[in-house]
């Protein structure tokens, strides 16, 4: 029972880290436990310093300077993410219409887009929008939607609806986990409709994911790995992880970390 409670709290924390907040009633429904149990979980997470409880739920205990300065919370494995971004940019051509998902790796891609001409970028990430908004040679479009402070992104049905009738050459998609059983997984249900819309709008879909994501499963499943065309990952990938990609017949590009 203790192990299950710990696993549930880990998943709750992952959801709050992704969305910035969560409601007791929603968590009770998702995890099929009583609201009393959820309140106890949130109390434990608050005691550990991860969240701050508010009426009806909890919010992420986040540095407000990160939001004001448009800094992403997750800055782990940055050497791998920068290497992946360098490989991804090689696939972008002048004149392309490109969808950039929110996330740390896609942010690194955005940093490398200076100097392109006649490039159209569509994104749901406010930090990427601010980064590229004044770049000559880049036309920028930003989705609507609900704001999530930890990922500086716009999400939900409104964000997904933006892509109706949109045709892009390439989508660069982020993920929280790549699972043998569940496929592409994410901490938040609200993101699933947006990711699906991005995939359906592009001719070619590149999943940009550092090797720590392979074999990892998050809370919500988007669908099978067959939804994407390529994965770009890093050279820390193990033979076992590479076998997962081969077993799924997933084309992959390995970025060498310097």
pLDDT at 64 over 70: no
pLDDT at 62 over 80: no
- Give the model's pLDDT for residue 117: 94
- Note the pLDDT tens digit of each residue in 198-257: 999 999 999 999 999 988 888 788 998 889 999 999 999 998 888 888 887 889 999 998
- Give the model's pLDDT for residue 219: 79
User: Is the Cα dihedral 147, 161, 185, 213 positive or negative?
Assistant: negative
Q: What is the DSSP string of the chain?
A: -HHHHHHHHHHHHHHHHHHSEEEHHHHHHHHTS-HHHHHHHHHHHHHTTSEEEETTEEEE---HHHHHTT--S--TTHHHHHHHHHHHHTT--TT-EEEE-SSHHHHHHHHT-TT-SSEEEEESBHHHHHHHTT-TTEEEEE---EEETTTTEEESHHHHHTTTT--EEEEEE--SEEETTTEEEES-GGGHHHHHHHHHHEEEEEEE--GGGBT---SEEEE-GGG-SEEEEETT--HHHHHHHHHTT-EEEEEPP-
Between residues 185 and 204, the one the model is more confident about:
204
The pTM of this model reads: 0.83
């Amino acid at each position: 029972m203790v192990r299950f409670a710990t696993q549930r709290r880990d998943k709750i924390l992952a959801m709050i880290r992704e969305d910035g907040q969560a409601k007791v009633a929603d968590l009770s429904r998702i995890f099929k436990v009583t609201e009393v149990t959820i309140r106890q979980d949130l109390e434990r997470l608050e005691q550990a310093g991860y969240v701050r409880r508010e009426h009806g739920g909890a919010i992420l205990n986040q540095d407000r300077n990160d939001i004001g300065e448009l800094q992403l919370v997750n800055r782990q494995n940055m050497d791998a993410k920068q290497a992946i971004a360098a490989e991804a940019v090689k696939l972008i051509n002048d004149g392309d219409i490109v969808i950039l998902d929110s996330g740390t790796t896609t942010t690194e891609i955005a940093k490398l887009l200076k100097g392109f001409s006649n490039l159209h970028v569509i994104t749901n990430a406010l930090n990427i929008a601010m980064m590229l908004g004044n770049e000559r040679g880049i036309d920028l479009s930003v989705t609507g939607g609900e704001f999530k402070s930890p990922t500086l992104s716009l999400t939900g049905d409104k964000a997904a609806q933006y892509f109706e009738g949109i045709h892009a050459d390439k989508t660069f998609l982020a993920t929280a986990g790549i699972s043998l059983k569940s496929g592409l997984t994410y901490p938040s249900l609200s993101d699933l409709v947006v990711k699906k819309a991005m995939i359906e709008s592009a001719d070619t879909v590149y999943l940009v994911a550092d090797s720590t994501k392979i074999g990892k499963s998050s809370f919500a499943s988007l669908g099978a790995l067959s939804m994407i065309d390529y994965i770009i990952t890093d050279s820390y990938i193990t033979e076992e992880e590479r076998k997962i990609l081969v077993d799924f017949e997933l084309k992959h590009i390995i970025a060498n970390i310097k």
